[in-house]
Every structure is written in structure tokens, then in C-alpha cells.
């Protein structure tokens, strides 16, 4: 797992052909928007979260974010314990995000 600044996270993700963005916030938090292309997996729905994580391709690179970076860091640690090698936590999360945001409803 690596904690990356917004600049590092975006730059690395843009050059990563295996990048997958994961949003681990609650459904209610999605009301402020979601990073385009992100997959929503609520870390607080532990059973579903674990099942969904287990189904992911362990060879991909996962760029994970939440509101401030704590839960996404926890998600990255869980993923590392499950054998994921490439997990990247967004330091500061959505609170510090100044990139593009879209409505979650547009993603479904």
C-alpha cells in the first residue's frame, strides 16, 4: 500500500493501464458526487465489502478513496492482507479533491 498525494495519485493513475478506482464511502456520502469511473464499495457494509473485494482481480491496481483518507487506508490494508499488491490510498480523500466529480446516479 502507498499513501499518495492527490497529484501523485492522479498522475500515477493516468499512466496505469490496470487502474481501478474504488470509493469506499457510505451511500449517503455519495450525494456530494463521485470521481468519474469509480466503483462504490461501502466499507461499513463489512460482509458485502469483503465479498466484493474478494471478487476483484488481484493483478489490477486499485486507487482507493473515502472522505478524508482514513477508511480508504483501512481498505488498502485489508486488500494487502488478501493478496492485492497494488493499492494506493488518496491522502485527504474527497475533502481535498479538486478534480472532476460526477453524480453517482450518472455512474450506475
pLDDT in tens, 38-50: 999 999 999 999 9
pLDDT at 22 over 60: yes
26: domain CATH number is 3.40.250.10
Residue given cell 497494488 in the structure block: 86
pLDDT in tens, 67-97: 999 999 999 999 999 999 999 999 999 999 9
Q: Is 76 considered catalytic here? A: no
Helix (H, G, I), strand (E, B) or coil at 82: coil
Q: Is residue 60 exposed (0-12), middle (13-18) or buried (19+ Cβ within 10 Å)?
A: middle
Determine the Cα–Cα distance for residues 78 and 23; give it in Å rounded to an integer.
15
49 to 12, 26, 92: CA distances (angstroms)? 25, 11, 22
Which member of 24, 34, 64, 66 is catalytic? 66
What is the span of the domain harbouring residue 59? 2-107
Residue of 1, 3, 8, 20 lying closest to 69 (CA atoms):
3
Write down the pTM of the prediction.
Answer: 0.94
* pLDDT for 105: 77
When divided into structural domains, the chain yields a total of 1
Amino acid at each position: 500500500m502507498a499513501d499518495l498525494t492527490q497529484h501523485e495519485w492522479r498522475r500515477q493513475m493516468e499512466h496505469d493501464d490496470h487502474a481501478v478506482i474504488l470509493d469506499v464511502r457510505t451511500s449517503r456520502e455519495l450525494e456530494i458526487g463521485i470521481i468519474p469511473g469509480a466503483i462504490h464499495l461501502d466499507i461499513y457494509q463489512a460482509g458485502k465489502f469483503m465479498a466484493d473485494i474478494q471478487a476483484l482481480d488481484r493483478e489490477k491496481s486499485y486507487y482507493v478513496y473515502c472522505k478524508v483518507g482514513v477508511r480508504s487506508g483501512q481498505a488498502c490494508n485489508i486488500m494487502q492482507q488478501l493478496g492485492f499488491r497494488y493499492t494506493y490510498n488518496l491522502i485527504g480523500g474527497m475533502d481535498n479533491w479538486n478534480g472532476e466529480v460526477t453524480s453517482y446516479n450518472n455512474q450506475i
